[in-house]
Chains A and B, each alone.
Chain A
Amino acid sequence: NAGVMQNPRHLVRRRGQEARLRCSPMKGHSHVYWYRQLPEEGLKFMVYLQKENIIDESGMPKERFSAEFPKEGPSILRIQQVVRGDSAAYFCASSPQGTNQPQHFGDGTRLSIL
Protein backbone atom coordinates (compact mmCIF):
# COMPACT_ATOMS: atom_id res chain seq x y z
CA ASN A 1 0.00 0.00 0.00
CA ALA A 2 2.39 2.64 -1.26
CA GLY A 3 2.06 6.15 0.06
CA VAL A 4 2.81 9.34 -1.80
CA MET A 5 6.06 8.87 -3.67
CA GLN A 6 8.34 11.79 -4.42
CA ASN A 7 11.60 11.71 -6.29
CA PRO A 8 14.31 12.55 -6.15
CA ARG A 9 14.76 12.88 -2.38
CA HIS A 10 17.63 15.30 -2.92
CA LEU A 11 18.36 17.38 -5.99
CA VAL A 12 21.35 19.63 -6.57
CA ARG A 13 21.33 22.13 -9.40
CA ARG A 14 23.52 25.01 -10.47
CA ARG A 15 22.06 28.45 -10.98
CA GLY A 16 20.33 28.70 -14.35
CA GLN A 17 19.59 24.99 -14.68
CA GLU A 18 16.16 23.37 -14.62
CA ALA A 19 14.76 21.31 -11.75
CA ARG A 20 12.05 18.69 -12.19
CA LEU A 21 10.37 17.25 -9.14
CA ARG A 22 8.05 14.26 -9.42
CA CYS A 23 5.15 13.11 -7.32
CA SER A 24 3.03 9.97 -7.59
CA PRO A 25 -0.09 10.21 -5.44
CA MET A 26 -1.42 7.42 -3.29
CA LYS A 27 -3.46 4.84 -5.14
CA GLY A 28 -7.00 6.07 -5.59
CA HIS A 29 -6.13 9.71 -4.95
CA SER A 30 -7.02 12.15 -7.69
CA HIS A 31 -5.93 15.42 -6.06
CA VAL A 32 -2.33 16.56 -5.83
CA TYR A 33 -0.89 19.54 -3.97
CA TRP A 34 2.57 21.05 -3.95
CA TYR A 35 4.04 23.00 -1.04
CA ARG A 36 7.34 24.72 -0.45
CA GLN A 37 9.05 25.03 2.90
CA LEU A 38 12.08 27.18 3.63
CA PRO A 39 14.25 26.34 6.65
CA GLU A 40 12.61 27.36 9.94
CA GLU A 41 9.45 28.47 8.11
CA GLY A 42 5.97 27.06 7.61
CA LEU A 43 4.51 25.26 4.62
CA LYS A 44 3.57 27.54 1.75
CA PHE A 45 0.89 26.35 -0.66
CA MET A 46 1.94 26.46 -4.29
CA VAL A 47 -0.54 24.65 -6.53
CA TYR A 48 -3.46 22.22 -6.46
CA LEU A 49 -4.11 19.91 -9.40
CA GLN A 50 -6.45 17.19 -10.49
CA LYS A 51 -5.77 14.96 -13.46
CA GLU A 52 -5.02 17.20 -16.46
CA ASN A 53 -6.34 20.29 -14.65
CA ILE A 54 -4.84 23.03 -12.52
CA ILE A 55 -7.46 23.91 -9.92
CA ASP A 56 -5.61 26.59 -7.97
CA GLU A 57 -2.16 27.99 -8.67
CA SER A 58 -2.46 31.07 -6.49
CA GLY A 59 0.73 30.16 -4.60
CA MET A 60 2.94 29.68 -7.63
CA PRO A 61 5.50 32.34 -8.49
CA LYS A 62 4.50 34.06 -11.72
CA GLU A 63 7.69 33.17 -13.56
CA ARG A 64 9.88 30.09 -13.92
CA PHE A 65 7.53 27.73 -12.05
CA SER A 66 5.01 25.38 -13.63
CA ALA A 67 3.16 22.24 -12.63
CA GLU A 68 1.26 19.53 -14.40
CA PHE A 69 -0.59 16.33 -13.57
CA PRO A 70 -1.02 14.42 -16.82
CA LYS A 71 -3.55 11.72 -17.49
CA GLU A 72 -0.80 9.14 -17.23
CA GLY A 73 2.23 9.39 -14.98
CA PRO A 74 3.25 11.48 -11.98
CA SER A 75 2.68 15.12 -11.26
CA ILE A 76 5.68 17.27 -12.17
CA LEU A 77 6.78 20.54 -10.58
CA ARG A 78 9.18 22.27 -12.93
CA ILE A 79 11.45 25.16 -12.00
CA GLN A 80 13.32 26.80 -14.86
CA GLN A 81 16.50 28.85 -14.53
CA VAL A 82 16.83 28.11 -10.84
CA VAL A 83 18.22 30.71 -8.44
CA ARG A 84 19.68 30.38 -4.94
CA GLY A 85 16.35 31.42 -3.41
CA ASP A 86 14.69 28.31 -4.84
CA SER A 87 16.60 26.16 -2.34
CA ALA A 88 13.94 24.61 -0.14
CA ALA A 89 12.06 21.42 0.68
CA TYR A 90 9.24 20.77 -1.75
CA PHE A 91 6.45 18.56 -0.45
CA CYS A 92 3.73 16.89 -2.44
CA ALA A 93 0.49 15.72 -0.89
CA SER A 94 -2.50 13.84 -2.26
CA SER A 95 -6.08 13.31 -1.22
CA PRO A 96 -9.02 11.38 -2.54
CA GLN A 97 -12.23 12.92 -3.84
CA GLY A 98 -14.37 14.37 -1.06
CA THR A 99 -13.89 17.31 1.26
CA ASN A 100 -13.72 15.36 4.51
CA GLN A 101 -10.63 13.38 3.60
CA PRO A 102 -7.18 14.44 4.84
CA GLN A 103 -4.07 14.91 2.76
CA HIS A 104 -1.14 12.54 2.90
CA PHE A 105 2.37 13.78 2.28
CA GLY A 106 5.38 12.40 0.49
CA ASP A 107 8.86 12.53 2.00
CA GLY A 108 9.67 15.68 0.06
CA THR A 109 12.44 16.73 -2.32
CA ARG A 110 15.25 18.82 -0.89
CA LEU A 111 16.43 21.16 -3.61
CA SER A 112 19.84 22.77 -3.26
CA ILE A 113 21.07 25.41 -5.67
CA LEU A 114 24.82 25.90 -5.95
Chain B
Amino acid sequence: QVQLQESGPGLVKPSETLSLTCAVSGYSISSAYYWGWIRQPPGKGLEWIGSLFHSGGTSYNPSLKSRVTISEDTSKNQFSLRLSSVTAADTAVYYCAGQSAVADNWFDPWGQGTLVTVSS
Protein backbone atom coordinates (compact mmCIF):
# COMPACT_ATOMS: atom_id res chain seq x y z
CA GLN B 1 0.00 0.00 0.00
CA VAL B 2 1.45 3.30 -1.12
CA GLN B 3 1.55 6.01 1.56
CA LEU B 4 2.73 9.61 1.32
CA GLN B 5 3.68 12.03 4.08
CA GLU B 6 4.48 15.72 3.64
CA SER B 7 6.94 17.53 5.89
CA GLY B 8 8.44 20.98 6.12
CA PRO B 9 8.21 24.35 7.87
CA GLY B 10 4.72 25.52 8.72
CA LEU B 11 5.71 29.19 8.58
CA VAL B 12 7.63 30.94 5.82
CA LYS B 13 8.47 34.64 5.57
CA PRO B 14 7.39 36.68 2.53
CA SER B 15 9.93 36.71 -0.32
CA GLU B 16 11.59 33.54 0.98
CA THR B 17 11.47 30.03 -0.46
CA LEU B 18 8.96 27.41 0.63
CA SER B 19 10.44 23.92 0.78
CA LEU B 20 8.47 20.73 1.37
CA THR B 21 9.29 17.06 1.16
CA CYS B 22 7.02 14.11 0.46
CA ALA B 23 8.20 10.76 1.82
CA VAL B 24 6.84 7.77 -0.06
CA SER B 25 6.48 4.32 1.50
CA GLY B 26 5.30 1.09 -0.05
CA TYR B 27 6.54 1.95 -3.54
CA SER B 28 9.77 3.05 -5.20
CA ILE B 29 9.45 6.56 -6.64
CA SER B 30 11.73 5.56 -9.51
CA SER B 31 9.23 2.96 -10.69
CA ALA B 32 6.41 3.52 -13.17
CA TYR B 33 4.41 6.21 -11.32
CA TYR B 34 4.17 9.96 -11.38
CA TRP B 35 4.20 12.25 -8.34
CA GLY B 36 2.39 15.54 -7.89
CA TRP B 37 1.92 18.54 -5.66
CA ILE B 38 -1.46 20.20 -5.17
CA ARG B 39 -2.38 23.06 -2.85
CA GLN B 40 -5.56 24.39 -1.29
CA PRO B 41 -5.77 27.92 0.17
CA PRO B 42 -7.92 28.12 3.30
CA GLY B 43 -11.59 27.83 2.37
CA LYS B 44 -10.84 27.55 -1.34
CA GLY B 45 -10.48 24.90 -4.04
CA LEU B 46 -7.65 22.72 -5.29
CA GLU B 47 -4.81 24.03 -7.45
CA TRP B 48 -2.31 21.80 -9.24
CA ILE B 49 1.28 22.95 -8.70
CA GLY B 50 3.22 20.45 -10.74
CA SER B 51 4.18 16.85 -11.37
CA LEU B 52 7.31 14.72 -11.50
CA PHE B 53 7.55 11.85 -13.97
CA HIS B 54 9.38 8.61 -13.24
CA SER B 55 11.82 9.55 -16.02
CA GLY B 56 12.80 12.60 -13.96
CA GLY B 57 10.92 15.03 -16.19
CA THR B 58 8.60 17.66 -14.77
CA SER B 59 5.45 19.60 -15.66
CA TYR B 60 4.38 22.78 -13.89
CA ASN B 61 1.27 24.93 -13.63
CA PRO B 62 1.95 27.82 -16.04
CA SER B 63 0.84 30.34 -13.41
CA LEU B 64 3.54 29.11 -10.99
CA LYS B 65 6.17 27.83 -13.40
CA SER B 66 8.66 30.66 -12.89
CA ARG B 67 8.78 30.00 -9.13
CA VAL B 68 8.44 26.20 -8.84
CA THR B 69 10.93 23.36 -8.78
CA ILE B 70 9.99 19.72 -8.13
CA SER B 71 12.79 17.21 -7.71
CA GLU B 72 13.38 13.68 -6.50
CA ASP B 73 15.76 11.97 -4.11
CA THR B 74 15.61 8.30 -5.02
CA SER B 75 18.10 7.36 -2.28
CA LYS B 76 15.56 8.53 0.31
CA ASN B 77 12.49 7.58 -1.75
CA GLN B 78 11.10 11.06 -1.54
CA PHE B 79 10.36 14.05 -3.75
CA SER B 80 10.39 17.74 -2.98
CA LEU B 81 8.74 21.05 -3.78
CA ARG B 82 10.44 24.43 -3.78
CA LEU B 83 8.40 27.59 -4.33
CA SER B 84 10.37 30.81 -4.39
CA SER B 85 9.47 34.44 -3.66
CA VAL B 86 6.39 33.51 -1.66
CA THR B 87 3.66 35.94 -0.69
CA ALA B 88 0.58 35.68 1.51
CA ALA B 89 -1.27 34.29 -1.52
CA ASP B 90 0.84 31.15 -1.23
CA THR B 91 -0.63 30.34 2.19
CA ALA B 92 -2.32 26.98 1.74
CA VAL B 93 -2.49 23.33 2.69
CA TYR B 94 0.02 21.58 0.44
CA TYR B 95 -0.67 17.99 -0.61
CA CYS B 96 1.57 15.49 -2.33
CA ALA B 97 -0.03 12.68 -4.30
CA GLY B 98 0.74 9.77 -6.56
CA GLN B 99 -0.39 9.76 -10.17
CA SER B 100 -0.99 6.69 -12.29
CA ALA B 101 1.46 6.50 -15.20
CA VAL B 102 -1.26 6.51 -17.85
CA ALA B 103 -2.68 9.20 -20.08
CA ASP B 104 -5.18 11.60 -18.47
CA ASN B 105 -4.07 10.33 -15.08
CA TRP B 106 -5.61 10.91 -11.68
CA PHE B 107 -4.22 11.58 -8.20
CA ASP B 108 -4.26 8.62 -5.84
CA PRO B 109 -3.21 8.24 -3.09
CA TRP B 110 -2.86 11.61 -1.32
CA GLY B 111 -0.79 12.63 1.66
CA GLN B 112 -2.58 14.12 4.64
CA GLY B 113 -1.46 17.62 3.72
CA THR B 114 0.57 20.24 5.55
CA LEU B 115 -0.44 23.83 6.22
CA VAL B 116 2.09 26.45 5.19
CA THR B 117 1.50 30.02 6.30
CA VAL B 118 3.37 32.90 4.70
CA SER B 119 3.77 35.68 7.21
CA SER B 120 6.46 37.87 8.71
Do A and B actually bind? no
* Interface, chain B (partner A; CB < 8 A): none
